[in-house]
Amino acid sequence: MNRFLKYPSYLFHPLWMPFAGTFIYFLKVPRFFPEGIIKAKLMAIAIMTLFIPIVFFFMLRTLNQAKSIFLDTPQERKWPLLFYCVIQLIILQYIINRFDFMELYHFYKGILISTLISAAFVYFKKKISLHLVGLTGLVGFLIILSYFYKLNMIPHIAILMIITGLTATSRLHMKAHTPGELFWGIIVGFIPQILVFQLWLI
C-alpha cells in the first residue's frame, strides 16, 4: 500500500501537464490542423517543457542546488521556477502563437501566471504543491475547452479529478506537503486558467 501511494507523485509529475494539455487540445478541439503541424508542435513542447527542464535539474543536482526532482524545499525551487518562467515566455513568443492556437496560447499564459505565483511563494520561504498546480491547471483548461466548444469532456475531467485526489493523497502520505500547501496548489493552478478564459472572449 505504501509503495502504491508513492506512484502518483512520480506518474503525475507537474512537468507532464503542459504536454498533456497540448496533446488533449489537438486530439479534442474541432479544428483542422495539418498532421505535420501537430507533430512539430508536440515535439517542440516536449523538448521545452520536459527534456530541457530535466537537463536543467540534473545540472542543478550536479551543483548541489537540488536533491530531488520533487524540489522539496523552497530554496531548491528558486532557480527551476524562474527557469520555467523563461521557458513559458519562449513558448508564447515562438511556438504557440495567439492567432493560430488561441486557446492553447492562453493555456500557456495561465501556466506562466501560476509559475510566477509559485515563485513568489518561494521568496517568502513558502512552498505549495506543484503537483496540484499542474493537475488543477489542466482540469481548468479542460473545463474551459468543454464549455467553449460545447464538448462532452465530463469523463476526462472526472478521471483527472480522481488522479488529482490520488496525487494529493500521495503527497500527504510522503509527508511532502501540509493540507494548506495542497490547498494553495489547487488555487494557484486552477484560478489563473479561469481568469485567462476572459481573454478568449476579447
DSSP 49: I
Instruction: Give the pLDDT confidence score for residue 1 in this predicted structure.
Output: 56
Instruction: Give the pLDDT confidence score for residue 201 in this predicted structure.
Output: 63
Neighbours of 174 (CB within 10 A): 15
| pLDDT tens per residue, range 121-147 | 998 989 999 999 999 999 999 999 998
Q: How many CA atoms lie within 13 A of 128 on its CB side?
A: 27
Distance separating alpha carbons of residues 132 and 28, to the nearest angstrom: 23
Cβ neighbourhood burial of 183 (10 Å; 0-12, 13-18, 19+): middle
Cell of 121: 511563494
- Mean pLDDT for the chain overall: 90
From residue 114, how far is each of 121, 126, 137, 158, 160 by CA, in Å? 11, 15, 8, 22, 19
* Cβ(113)–Cβ(58) below 8 Å: no
Mean pLDDT of 168-182: 88
| pLDDT tens per residue, range 39-80 | 999 999 999 999 999 999 999 998 888 888 888 888 899 999
Residue 183 has pLDDT above 70, yes or no: yes
Residue 4 has pLDDT above 80, yes or no: no
Longest CA–CA separation in the chain, Å: 49
Instruction: Give the pLDDT confidence score for residue 202 in this predicted structure.
Output: 59
Residue 119 has pLDDT above 90, yes or no: yes
| pLDDT tens per residue, range 141-173 | 999 999 888 989 999 999 999 999 999 998 888
Distance separating alpha carbons of residues 142 and 133, to the nearest angstrom: 14
Q: Can you say whether the dihedral through the CA atoms of 174, 178, 182, 185 is positive or negative?
A: negative
Cβ neighbourhood burial of 93 (10 Å; 0-12, 13-18, 19+): exposed
More confident residue, 154 or 5: 154
Write the DSSP assignment of 160-196 as a string of letters. HHHHHHHHHHHHHHTT---HHHHHHHHHHHHHHHHHH
